[in-house]
Chain A
Amino acid sequence: MEFQADADLPPILTVEGVNVWLSGRQILHDVNFRIEAGEFTGLIGSNGAGKTTLLRVILGLESPTSGRVLVGGRPRSPRNPLIGYVPQKILLDPDMPLRARDLVALGLDGHRFGLPRRSTAQKVLIDEMIDAVDATSFADARVGILSGGEQQRVLIAHALISRPRLLLLDEPLANLDIRSEQEVVELVARIASEQQIAVLISAHDMNPLLPVMDRVIYVAAGRVASGTTEEVVTTEALSELYGHHVDVVQINERILVVAGRETAAHHDHSDSRAE
């Protein structure tokens, strides 16, 4: 899926020289990248690399120690309607009297005061959104009893119903089996290209995203490298990012990033680990 950036539009997201310190530790080091309107970008990194922190900075939940974040070419405002967000986890119990439909509706007007009184047009919109994420069959079930993949689809509908230009998803594929993983990725990619929404999706494994990803932002210990997969996911580029040697190997169209030693002779002793 090749993406042509529209020259007239400013980048939907610009991150410039962002440094983040939390509790005396530097979590993000001089992060720079841009996301063009409509682009599908993977935010790849292992546990603790800084993916969630970066997303929180973009959302305005964390302020950077230095650097700036522009959304649609302008400094981000609180309650930015251009950004939709799917959090890594939600807090609810199976008994909570809240249907999938209610959660989607909260995406439309959850920040507003007063009891909900939704117009017919809004109800139609909610139904359409539920249909778009293939959630119609469980729209009236409690969110708490849905499976991980079903919940992800409801959360995606919740984030998309306010018609954002940039969708941030934090590890939506964690805890999903391979089939649901694929379904969620295809769903996000389809809706994003239909509605020209840029996507920034974090994951510790880039493989499920390879078929749809325009660009990759690779995070290692708070430093990022961004570009196309061919540019970034190479032995040279990632070794430089990690600050030590890593091997990028391709097996059956899957890419594995393997921490190892430089000589093959030592490989069986190294704590090789796929990312």
Chain B
Amino acid sequence: MFSGFMVTAWEAATIVAVVAGVVGFFTVLRGSAFAAHALPNGAFAGAAGASLIGVNVIVGLGVFALLGALTIGGLGRRARQDVATALAIVMMLGLGALFLSMTTEYAPEIYSLLFGEVLGVSGSELLPTAVIGMVCIAVVFVLYRPLLLSSIMPDAAEARGVNGRRMDLAFLVVIALATTMAVPVVGSLLIFSLLIGPPAAARSFTSKPLHAMGLSVALALGTVWAAVALSFATNLPIGFFVGAISACSYAAGRSWVAWRRTRPVTKISRTGLLRA
């Protein structure tokens, strides 16, 4: 399982995990989970449309994810962001239903985008996947402090020249890009779990923001590697394992917090790590 075309699968899964860990940290922190759910699902509709007109599905994914991000960001200025997100996902899924009803031949390939396919990324797609992933990580690193500040105290951030709307929009575009590259590997229904599970679990174990981001990457890597191996061994969809392992690591994090809560302070917590 480490030879030939499987190498591509491992590489793609690794890129996806690193990006999901980094982007997911802010997805949880900013409460953008709903957008992280809506964008890949809407992007799926784009893939269906692309296959209908004979274009590479990645292009369809990307175009729809970006359109979705701009819609949510644009509408979110007037309406509540969750309402805007709901409207965007409904519009895109409606189109998706239409596209799917018109395609018959390529349906199996499209459905694999829902739940993921270990071999979903071909060798030639590895480079674009890596490039999109690097862009996502670079943007998050560059905007790290303004994103943090504007999520906690939007007015104070605004008064210091951090434009909240631009931060929202920039981060939505990052989620759109991250999901575009991740959907073929883990599936559009379950990339969401990878963006939420590891970061949500990580915040249970450390109170330092950068450590939480690092741990989130580590947990996402563990999740995805285990999922690839298990999917390969059992021939079950990788998305199932990603979802299940993410949920388990989150449960483990919560149990750890619950257990720690009422304990007296120990030596480890003096470092700031593991402090509830």
Contact = CB atoms under 8 A, between A and B. Distances in A.
Q: Is the interface of B mostly helix, strand, loop or mixed?
A: helix
Nearest to B272: A140
A91 interface: yes
Given A109-B145, A114-B145, A141-B207, A92 B159 contact: no
Interface stretch (B6-14, B76-84, B109-117, B209-217): B209-217
A223 B212 CA distance: 48
Contact of A116 (B144, B157, B275): B144
Interface in B127-158: 141-146, 148-149, 151-158
A87 B162 contact: no
Interface stretch (B40-48, B94-102, B198-206): B198-206
A97 B207 contact: yes
A115 interface: yes
Contact of B155 (A85, A113, A142): A85
B148 A97 contact: no
B145 A110 contact: yes
Interface of B: 29, 141-146, 148-149, 151-162, 202-204, 206-212, 257, 272, 275-276
Interface in A53-97: 56, 59-61, 78-80, 83, 85-87, 90-92, 95-97
A173 B209 CA distance: 28
A91 B210 contact: no
A49 B254 CA distance: 43
B141 A61 contact: no
B160 A110 contact: yes
Contacts of B148: 98, 106, 110
Contacts of B204: 95
A25 interface: no
Contact of B159 (A83, A95, A106, A114): A83
A79 B161 contact: yes
Contacts of B211: 97
Nearest to A101: B272
Contacts of A99: 207-208, 272
A92 B152 contact: yes
Contacts of B203: 95-97
Given A96-B203, A110-B160, A91 B145 contact: no
5 contacts: A61-B158, A85-B156, A99-B207, A110-B145, A116-B145
A228 B39 CA distance: 57
Interface in A115-152: 115-116, 140-142, 145
A113 B142 contact: yes
Contact of B207 (A60, A106, A114, A140): A140
B152 A113 contact: no
| Nearest 6 pairs of A and B residues by beta carbon | A79-B161, A110-B149, A97-B212, A59-B159, A97-B203, A111-B160
Contact of A111 (B152, B161, B207, B208): B161
A85 B149 CA distance: 13
Nearest to B161: A79
A106 B142 contact: no
A140 B265 CA distance: 13
Given A83-B159, A111-B146, A116-B145, A102 B208 contact: yes
Contacts of B141: 114-115
Given A83-B159, A110-B162, A141-B275, A115 B210 contact: yes
Contacts of A61: 155, 158-159
Nearest to A113: B142
A103 interface: yes
Given A59-B159, A61-B158, A95-B203, A114 B153 contact: no
Contacts of A106: 145, 148-149, 152
Contact of A110 (B29, B146, B202): B146
B201 to A, nearest CB: 11
Interface in A151-191: 158-159
